[in-house]
Amino acid sequence: MRVIAGTYKGHPLQTVSNKLTRPTTDKVKESLFNIIGPFFEGGICLDLFAGSGGLGIEALSRGMDHVVFVDQQKQAIQVIHSNLQALKLEGKAEVYRNDAFRAIKATSKRALEFDLIILDPPYQKISYESLLTSLAENNVTHLDTIIVCEHDTKQSLPKEHASFIQMKTDNYGGTTAISLYKRKEEIYE
């Protein structure tokens, strides 16, 4: 696993060596960032179920100002810290060992609104609908927030849910699909 593009292009990343974490392949990561905009002009990202932190680190490499990484596994948190230290990115990141729903509430209490939210839970273990509901109820998005849901190709995510509408879904062969969501505009009218 490596950083695909941007400031840290080509830098290898450590991965979590257990069966509980499924790293996003470089091919999927490259395709995803080509879709959502290859590079960013600042912004803040929430990387839930961060694993090794590869997606959030890719966002930093491509111009995000700050990433909040969240994972429940102790080993994953250690690997994220190690990857951030290797790239000297500690000042652009926060790392928390926490449940995803508690983390969403905690960021809401801080009045954070994210430009990019990455949801990559273990396949078939956590409801994306519940995650989207929590994001909406806790007001951690704005009109231009992009929500990335990485999921099993056998799983069909709703076209609309809570305050969000699906913009696009792509399958990447094997078991990986990506669905992108944005806020419904009428909420802001």
Using the predicted structure, report yes or no on whether residue 171 has a pLDDT greater than 50: yes
The pLDDT value given to residue 38: 80
Strands (E), 15-138: 44-48, 66-71, 93-97, 114-119
Predicted structure pTM score: 0.93
Report the chain's C-alpha Rg in angstroms.
15
Using the predicted structure, report yes or no on whether residue 188 has a pLDDT greater than 60: no
How many Å apart are CA 81 and CA 83, to the nearest integer? 6
The residue that leads in pLDDT, 152 or 94, is: 94
pLDDT tens readout for residues 37-94: 788 999 999 999 999 999 999 999 999 999 999 999 999 999 999 999 999 999 999 9
The pLDDT value given to residue 187: 47
How many Å apart are CA 75 and CA 173, to the nearest integer? 28
What is the average pLDDT score of the chain?
A: 91
The pLDDT value given to residue 20: 59
Please report the domains of the chain, with CATH numbers, ordered by start residue: 26-188 (3.40.50.150)
The pLDDT value given to residue 174: 77
